[in-house]
Every structure is written in structure tokens, then in C-alpha cells.
Structure 1
Amino acid sequence: MGTPHSPRSDTRARIIEVSLELFSEQGYEQTSLREIADRLGVTKAALYYHFKTKDDIVLGIVERMAAPIDETIAWGRTQAWSPEMRDELIRRFADGMAERAPLLRFFHENQPALRESPAGLAFRERIITMMQLVHGPQASFQDRLRAAMTLFTIHSSMFLLQQDAKDCDRPENVWGEKPPVADLDEALEAARTVALEVGGRITHPAPPAPPAPAPARP
């Protein structure tokens, strides 16, 4: 079995890195295992030793880049729900955003091919679990929606940042303005702030007070 610093794990990490590059350049469906092997400078048989299919590679990408989500979920499962626990979940989820950005961009650009793939389903399950931890038990539909929007806010910050980079040469927007372009740190801080504002509206009503004891009969 490979260890975190073994040659095998290093090779798997390199395969994941190169595959993500090619998927981003050409699209998932247009990239073959042969092209991945050629970019790596290895034989197709050597690639098969680590990953049998492209789906296996994508699942490896998800497992690697979603590791901070798994850690946050594991922590959340040990906590009783409270506003403080909710906010800490949101902060931890936001803190891993920069590492997940390439994965989100990859899924966004290859949605038709990946929507029902094992990797797509695995990532979706993680997000659903995060939503449930954020909104807590016995949540109303409104609070479930707020939890979904909280996570969506964090992910949207990366798409907005990417769009700003593409539009940097555009002279003005529909309002006749040239919007300021944020850097990565500013985008992450904005995402954390807005997500906490939305998530802060998820509140559970206090449990009802126990009924008063019946008056003693004379």
C-alpha cells in the first residue's frame, strides 16, 4: 500500500494533475487515456496500473481536492448543532475554497458528461451532507434553502473571480462602469463574509418551556 510520500502516491498525484490540465484544455470527453499517458511520458499500461478508466481518474481528482470538505464533515458530525457550530462549518468550508476552485471549474465546464458519473455523484453527496450539517436538525424549508445558498455563495465567488479575469479588458458594464477586480484573497474574504450573513439567518426556535405543574388540589 502506498504512503503519502511513496513513489506510487506521487505518481498518482502527477496523473491527477496532468489529467486535470488536459480535461480543462480539451474537455473531459475529448481527452483520451492515450493523450494523458503521452503528456505524462509513460506507457498506457503504466497509466492503467494506477487508473483503469477516466472515471477512476476523476474520482481520484474529487477525493484529493475534496479532502478539506471530508475533514469538515467529520468534524461537524461530532458536534451538537448551535449557531457557533454553524458559523465554524461555514468558515472551514470557505477556507478550502481556493483548493477546490480547479475542481469546480472542471465540473462546471463538463457538466453533461459528469452529472451522473461516480465522481459527480460523490461530490454532490458531500455538498448535500454539508448543507444538512449547516442547517441542523428539524430545519424548515427556508433554513434548508439558506444553507444551500450559503454554500453556493462560497462557490460562486470563484466563478465571479474567473469571470472578472475574462472580462478585464471590457471597458464597462451595463451601468457604464468598470467594476473593480478582486484578487483571490479579497474574493475569499468576501465569500466568507456574505456566506456568514446568509447562514446567520439559520436559527432554530428555542424548545418550548415545560408545562407548568398543575396546581395542587385543596
Structure 2
Amino acid sequence: MNGAPQARRGGNTRQRIQDVALGFFLERGYEKTSLREVADELGISKPAVYYHFKTKEDILVGLLGDVGRELDALIAWGREQPRTLESKRELLARYSVIFDNAAPLFRIMQQNIATLSELTVGQEFTDRTTALAALLKDADAPMAAQVRCVSALLTLHFGTFALEYIDGAAEDKRLALLDSATELLTSAYAVQETADGPAA
């Protein structure tokens, strides 16, 4: 399996299945990966894979389970915060860490968006992204301000994938990308202030 991460020899069969499937998903795409290939790579029977995962989607759901819980916790935290620029900056900062840590999984979703958008796991990610966008923008803000808030989120999404083409330490690149997203978010407030006009 060229270019794919090797399955950990230690650990249980369920984890090894996820490791090998992740490698195949990254290397050849979700749609072109079969459970038979995963079983063959591990040297186990297909029924042994079925014991843990009935479908490829089940594997992907398992892989995304932890990050999904992190996103749900972040959304819950965001809903409890005052709708201030400071809170929204912190939301972006926390999201940046989650997204960066799970970049391989999100890359799979991005590369297979047409297929995964029809699956439950794809819809759940869309719902979470929509919830995060709603926390960053204010419904009564000018359209231009709302666009900048949503663009800040998308900057983290698509910018993370582009970072591999830029030289530099991984953490330095993440922080530079976060700075760009934060600048967009902050500029939304400048648009808002302009629209509101000077205080009486």
C-alpha cells in the first residue's frame, strides 16, 4: 500500500481496520476502496471485517467519531458564549486546532464530496459547519459582514489543505492561516460599524 500509513501492529483488530482503511481512502479515494481490500491488507477474512464494520461508511463514521464529538463540544461551548468578537476569535482558534489535527479525515471528505454528501456522515459534517457559521455571523449584520464571517471559517477549511504546498513548520503555518481567518472575522466588525454609522 504505497504512500498509505501502515496499520499499527499492536492494538485491536477494529483499530487496525480503521488504520488500513484510512490509508486506502487517502491513497485511492473512498469510493474506490473495498472492504475486501482492507481485509486482504490485514490478512484477515472479510467476515472478520464485517464483525466490526458492516460498511465503508461505518468505518468512516468510526474515524470521524472523535472529531465529531470535539466539534459538538465546540458548538455547545460557542452557544454559551456572548456574541462578541473575542468569543468568535476564540471559537476560530479552537476550531483551527481541531481541523488541523483531523486534516487527513477532512481531506478524504473534500476529495470525495460528491459521494459522501449523500451519506449520513457527510450530512452531519455539513450540519456542524452550518452551526459553526451561525455562531460566527450575526443574522442582522450587513450582508458583507456575514460573508466575511463565513469566509473566515472557509479560510480554515480550504487553507489547511493548501498549507502542504507552502514551506515552513506545521504549527507556524497553522497559526499564519488562523491569523488570516481572524483578520477576515475582525474586518466583518469594521463593516458592521461602518453600516451602523457613528454613535449618537
Match of 1:201 among 172, 183, 187: 187
Aligned length: 182
RMSD (CA atoms): 2.2
Tell me what 1:32 maps to: 34
Higher relative contact order (CA 8 A, sep 6+): 1
Q: Where in structure 2 are the equivalents of 1:4-153 lying within 5 Å?
A: 11-153=13-155
- For the residue of structure 1 that corresponds to 2:73, the secondary structure is helix
Structure 1: gaps (5+ residues): 1-8, 165-180, 209-218
Q: Separation in 1 of the partners of 2:44 and 2:177?
A: 41
TM-score by length of 1: 0.74
Counterparts of 2:42 and 2:121, CA distance in 1: 22
Q: Is this contact kept in 2: 1:147–1:199, CA < 8 A?
A: yes
The one-letter amino acid of 2:77's match is W
Q: Given the two structures, how large is their TM-score scaled by the length of structure 2?
A: 0.80
> In terms of Rg, which structure is larger?
1
Any unmatched runs of 5+ in structure 2? Answer: 1-10
From 182, 194, 197, give the equivalent of 2:168.
182
Q: Which ranges of 4 or more aligned residues in structure 1 deviate by more than 6 Å? A: none
The answer to which structure has the higher helix fraction is: 2
1:66 counterpart SS class: helix
Q: Once the 2 structures are TM-superposed, how far is the Cα of residue 137 of structure 1 from its aligned partner?
A: 4.8
